[in-house]
Chains A and B, each alone.
Chain A
Amino acid sequence: MVVITTQKPEEEIFEALKNYHANKIAIVSCGSCAALCQTGGTEGLAKWQEKLKEKDFEITAGIVSEDVCDNRVMKKDLRKIDDEIKESDAILTLSCGLGAQSIIKTLEKNYPNKPVIVANDTQFMGMTERIGRFYMRCQGCGDCLLNETGGICPITTCAKALMNGPCGGMVRGKCEVGNYEKDCGWVLIFNRLKEINRLDLFSKLREPRDWSESGHQREVVFR
């Protein structure tokens, strides 16, 4: 699994730096997911060092960290550049939103006012076909339906996340959203369940999703 990121428009990133009056910048680049997405890693770091220099920013530090989203890794890696962080106006993070918030959390005690600027938009948890081809197939809804739907997720593949599809917006197996170019998730489910001789599951009237437990600051704590 990869947390898929895409780079924000450059002007938006420079605008954010400007709004924080940041001139001295430390860059933290993610060496795992963002590296795969070409929005981080060593290449991303080199690119942003170059770009910032071109615009007369001062780069105080630049590191590639293996798991920016892991608080323990961040604690260790940021300690190594503590002096540079101290003198920086802001940190630019080439990671996903988890990475950015992991940095903020790591710095909250010693540098509670240090701005962390995100260079990327976090898109989704991605299934990798090959590098450069990532697909959203699961939204981490917290209540997996795959055993009921032939292994195809309606929450993700149905544009309306319906529990009892397909809807009237399906035409010849395609979805009304996106000009009938994408497959209707519920037709995929129907075809799959038919193939495995489980149309009994398709016929089932499903209850609406229970939102009472989902959505708000979910956490898994078992130790």
Chain B
Amino acid sequence: MVEKKVYSKLGAALAKGEFILTGELEPEKTCDLSHTIQEAKEMAPFVVAANMTDSPLGIVTINSLAASAIVQRETGLEIIWQQTVRDVNKLGLAGMIMGAHALGIRNILSLTGDHTNLGDVKEAKPVFDLDSATLVKLVREMVDKKSINGHEIECPPTLHVGAAANPNSDPIEAEVLKIGRKAEAGAEFIQTQVVYDLEKTIEFLRAIKKYNVPVLLGLFPMKSYAIAKGFDMFVPGVDVPKDILAKWKRIKTEITDKKAQNEAYDQANYEFFKPFVTELKSKRLLEGVHCMAVHYPRIFPKLIEVIKG
């Protein structure tokens, strides 16, 4: 067996087969990263690494690589740099991958990216020179073969590369085959879209098991009723179960004390996600959990309880 190369804490955890918890940071339209840094500090004791988003929904934010490097440097929290193929062509991406290494970044999550048409710079030219699978392939070529298009890189980058998956996708068979392509391209880990439907998730994870890529399951603990409702309404293709929405609504209306309300939300998240994760872990269908609840670092101690055991 070829020993897996390890370039980061995430890479080490994957190689050891540890159950992994990753978080997510979403920098905003600002040059001041102090909020993101603060959130990273609060999250750091609990997670192996945290993703740094790349202008989600096509709404422009501070550059993801810059934010990744600064937050990692300032906090010591290892970052999974999210990079989409929406805004940069292959030439640009290759340069950024080397730049990322030079800045100390050791993990990248390859994403297609939401179309420019959805965001706040609609008139921008959408690039999509590569796609999420061929960006994975580019990273692997640069890291493993130490070259770009066969041209040698003097000091090559060392990054672990992951890809996304959507267990809610319909038709799911197309998504499964797509994961096959990403695995073939060399994806070393998968982080999924947020899931709430246990049966669907089991079906999907079973279907992609054959590709042998570790899966970090996307969970979205909901900080408040407003967030749960907004997520249900505005994130296409992901439905928050009705009973969850009802429970969160009850917490909002029945508990007036802010502190007690927060505790109730945290506990409700624990009660929903604990059996969910336990079931999947018992079936050996996942290697970790990716918590996508941004601006909710308070939940991490509870999430540690969720993934324990």
Q: Do A and B come together as binding partners?
A: yes
A interface residue numbers (CB < 8 A to B):
159-173, 176-178, 180, 186-187, 190-191, 194, 199, 202-209, 211
Is B268 at the interface (CB under 8 A from chain A)? no
Q: B134, A168: Cβ atoms under 8 Å?
A: no
Residues of chain A within 8 A of B134, CB atoms compared: 163-164, 205-208
- Complexed CA–CA distance, A113 and B114 (Å): 46
Q: B115, A168: Cβ atoms under 8 Å?
A: no
Report the interface size for chain B: residues with CB under 8 A from the other chain: 34
Q: B112, A160: Cβ atoms under 8 Å?
A: yes
Is B166 at the interface (CB under 8 A from chain A)? yes
Q: B236, A171: Cβ atoms under 8 Å?
A: yes
Is B3 at the interface (CB under 8 A from chain A)? no
Q: B171, A160: Cβ atoms under 8 Å?
A: no
Residues of chain B within 8 A of A173, CB atoms compared: 170-171
Known A-B contacts A164-B132, A173-B171; the reply to A205 vs B181 at CB < 8 A is: yes
Smallest Cβ distance from B97 to chain A, in angstroms?
A: 15
Within 8 A of A (CB), among B72-104: 86, 90
Q: List 15 A-B contacts (CB under 8 A).
A: A159-B126, A160-B128, A166-B175, A170-B237, A171-B236, A187-B171, A190-B177, A194-B173, A202-B174, A204-B181, A205-B133, A205-B134, A205-B184, A209-B129, A211-B129
Q: A166, B115: Cβ atoms under 8 Å?
A: no
Smallest Cβ distance from A165 to chain B, in angstroms?
A: 7
Is B117 at the interface (CB under 8 A from chain A)? yes
Nearest A residue to B130, CB-CB: A208
Given contacts A164-B178, A168-B193, A205-B181, 13 further A-B contacts (CB under 8 A): A159-B126, A160-B126, A160-B128, A163-B131, A164-B181, A168-B166, A168-B169, A172-B170, A173-B170, A176-B236, A186-B174, A187-B171, A211-B129
Residues of chain A within 8 A of B137, CB atoms compared: 205
Residues of chain B within 8 A of A164, CB atoms compared: 131-134, 178, 181
Nearest A residue to B117, CB-CB: A177
Residues of chain A within 8 A of B65, CB atoms compared: none
Which of A161, A178, A204 is B128 in contact with, Cβ under 8 Å?
A161
Q: A167, B112: Cβ atoms under 8 Å?
A: yes
Known A-B contacts A199-B177, A208-B130; the reply to A162 vs B169 at CB < 8 A is: no
Residues of chain B within 8 A of A176, CB atoms compared: 114-115, 117-118, 236
- Complexed CA–CA distance, A205 and B177 (Å): 10
Q: Which 4 A-B pairs have the closest CB atoms?
A: A171-B237, A167-B112, A190-B174, A160-B128
- Complexed CA–CA distance, A206 and B181 (Å): 9
Smallest Cβ distance from A162 to chain B, in angstroms?
A: 5
What 1/0 mask marks residues of chain B from 192 to 225 whose CB sits below 8 Å from any chain A CB? 0100000000000000000000000000000000
Residues of chain A within 8 A of B132, CB atoms compared: 164, 167
Is B180 at the interface (CB under 8 A from chain A)? yes
Residues of chain A within 8 A of B118, CB atoms compared: 176-177
Q: A203, B131: Cβ atoms under 8 Å?
A: no
